[in-house]
Structure 1
Amino acid sequence: MDFAFDARTEELRGKLLAFMDEYVYPAEAVAEEQRAQLASPWETPAVVEELKAEARRQGLWNLFLPDSEYGAGLTNLQYAPLAEIMGRSPHIAPTVTNCAAPDTGNMEVLTQFGDEQQRKQWLEPLLAGEIRSAFAMTEPDVASSDATNITTHIERDGDEYVVTGRKWYISGALHPDCKIFIVMGKTDPEGSDIRRQQSMILVPRDTPGVTIERAMQVFGYEDHSHGGHAEVIFDHARVPASNLIGEEGGGFAIAQARLGPGRIHHCMRLIGMAERAIELMCRRAVSRTAFGKALAQQGVVHNWIADARVTVEQLRLLVLKTAWLMDTVGNRGAHTEIQSIKIATPRAVVDILDRAIQLHGAGGVSQDFPLAELYAGARTLMIADGPDEVHQRSLARRELKRYV
C-alpha cells in the first residue's frame, strides 16, 4: 500500500500550509476585531475579503469540486489532506478558499443536476465567490433525521411552483450575499413511494413570501462565518417552474448525492480541528506549571496527548480510505465507510477538544482560545447531516443482512 500523496497534492499542501501561516492564522484575531465594528454581525470582515482575493490569486480556490470544468478537478483523496489543513481554522480558511458549506454542497448539486440556465444564473456566481447560498431542508416541527417526514409543500400552479413551509437551522441564510435557497419539499405528498415524494427547487432569497424569521444560535454561538443559521418561512412563495432542479420526485436522491461528499468534507475538517487542539494542548502543557512542575510532566496530561495522537491517526486513515473508495467505486460503494466516519469522527474529536479545554482551564471556555467554539462546531456535527443514531441504525442493518 502506498500512503504517499501524489505530486499535485503535495504541491497544493505546501502552498496551503504557507497560506495558512502567512495569512489565515494572523487574520483570526483581526476578523473578530473588524466584525465588532460592522453594522451587521453577518457582514464579512474586510480581512476575509482580502484573503479571498489572495487565495484565488494563488490558485487555492474551489479545491473541493472534482469537476474539472468548474472546480480544481481534484479527487476526494487529493482533497482530503487540503480540507484537513483548512479545518485547523474552520471559521476562516474554508470561506476564503470558497470551500465552505453550505455553498460547496449547493455548487455540487447545481453541477450534477442543474440545467444550463440554472448553472449560468446561480452556479457561476457561486464559483466566483460573488454570492452565497443556503440549503433549506431541516424543519422544526418534524424529526428531520428522517427526510421523508418533511412537510414543506412545493405545488405546481401553471408555469410556477408555490412553496409553503417552515425551515430552521438554514446555514448561510443571514449572510447579506446569500441570494439563493435550494429548498427541499414535497411535490407528491400522497405518492406511494415515500422516496419519490420530494423535490428540490431554487428559491431566490428576495422572492415575495420568503421571510427570515430569526437567527438560530448553536451552543450560544451565532456562527458568523457560515452566514449564520436561520429560521425561514416560505409563505406561498412563487417561483418559475424552470427553477425545479432535475425532475419532480428526484429530491431525495439529490439530497443523498449532496450529503455524501458533505459528510466526508466535515470529517476531513474535523481532523484538522483535532490537530489544532493537540497543538494547543502541547503548547499549554509546556508553558504552564502546577503543583511545582510543568503540566507536561503530569501523567494524566501524557495520557490525553498520547490518546489524542492515536485517535487522530486512526481517523485519518479511515477518512482517506473512504475518500479512495468514493473515487474508485462511487458514493454508493463507499456507503459503509461514509457512515463509519460520520459516526466515529465527530465524537472522537469532541473528546479531544474536551481534554484540550480541560487542560486550558478557564481559558479553554473563553473567547481567548478557539477551543470552545471548535467544540461547539464538532458537537453539532453529531447531529448535522444525520444524527449518529440514524447512521448507526443503517450501518447495523447492513451488517446484519449478511447473516439473515
Structure 2
Amino acid sequence: MRALTWQGTHDVRVEDVPDPEIINPRDAVIKVTSTAICGSDLHLYDGVIPGVRPGDVLGHEFMGEVVETGSDTTLEKGQRVVVPFTISCGKCFHCEVQQYSACENSNPADKQDMSATLYGHPMSALFGYSHLTGGYSGGQAEYVRVPFSDVGPIVVPDHLEDDQVLFLSDILPTGWMGAENAEIGPDDTVAVWGCGPVGLFAVQSALVMGAARVIAIDHHPHRLELAKKLGADVIDFTKTNVREALMEMSGGIGVDAVIDAVGMEAHGFAADNMVDMVKQKVGIGADRASALKQAILAVRPGGRVSIPGVYGGMTDKFPLGALMEKGLQVKTGQTHVQRYTKDLLDKIEDGTIDTTFLISHRLPLEEAARGYKCFHDEQDSWTKVILKPEMKEAA
C-alpha cells in the first residue's frame, strides 16, 4: 500500500509499505477515506520529537471503512468509523476511570523505557507518533491496523460527511478538553493562546460551554478572523502588549482562565524564546514555552491554566513563582478522546458544533509532502489539510 513516511527533518515521502494485517483478536483493519495533517505532526516534521525513525508511517487523525476484523472486535465490515489518536485497552486502571491517554497496556513493553526515563512513567500508545508512543504505524496511508478496535473507534452515520466528523479523531475533543480543563463558568473571561486548529476548537468549545467572553491571541490575520467569526475578541501579539490588553479587557483583574493551545514551538521574539529556538535547532530538547509563560503571568490570582498544547521536553526560565504565589490551578495532558466522542458526535449532528469551517485544502495522499510543507510554511492560509487516499487531483 501507499503511505506517508518520515525520513528526517522536513523530509516526508509517500512510499510503498507492507499492508497491515490482523495481529490480535481485538484488531481491525481500516481502509482510510480521510486523514488530516495535525499541528502536532509538524513537531515531527521539525525533528523536535525524539524516537522517530526513518520509514515510520505518520498520521494520527483518520477515519475510514472497516475491511477486516479480528475475532474479538465489536466492529463489523463495512462500517464507517472515526479512530481516536489515543490507543487504549479499555481495561486497565486508567481506562476504567476514563483517563484513556494514560493507558497502561497499549505501549509495548519493549518501547516503554525511553518515555519512562523522560516522564517517570511510560506513555500510552498513539498512532503515527514516534517510538516513545509505541511505534504504531499511522493513518496517513491507504490502510491502517487499529489495535483495541473494540474500545477506540466510533461508528458514524452515513448521512454525515467525512469532513463533518473526521476531527473527532483528535483536534475537536482536544479543543473541548482544553476548554473543560479551564473549568469555565458563565461569567468567565477566557483567553486562548494560538488560533491553530486546536485553539480554534478551544475557542468554539469555550463559547458553547457558556463563557461570557473569549479572547483569542495569534498573529496570523486569517486565523484571527476565523476566531472572530466564532464569536471571540482577538489580539494580534505582534501589534499589542498582550498582558496589558488582557488586563484592560478584564477590568484590571486579569482573565479567569487561560488555554495554551500553542505548545512547544511558540513564536515570538522574547529573549528567552529566541534562546529556546536555538536550543531546539541544535537538539538540546528545550521546549519553546513562551505562550505558556505569558498565559501564567496574565491569568488572575486563583485562576485556571489549561494546557492542551503539546510539550515534550524541558523549558528554561519557567515562572514557577507566579504559578505558586498566584494560587493557580493547572490541568493538562494528552486528550482522553474516547471520553468525549459520543457527546461531540451528538453536538455535530444537532448543529451545536461545526467543524468544516477549518478545512482549507484537500489533497490526494500522493501530495502529502506538499501538504506538510505548505501547512508548515503558510499557516495563515493553510488552516487545515485533509488527505484523501482515493483522490486523484487536489480540490
TM-score by length of 1: 0.26
Greater strand share, structure number = 2
Greater helix share, structure number = 1
Q: Which has the higher contact order (CA 8 A, sep 6+)?
A: 2
Q: Which has the larger radius of gyration?
A: 1
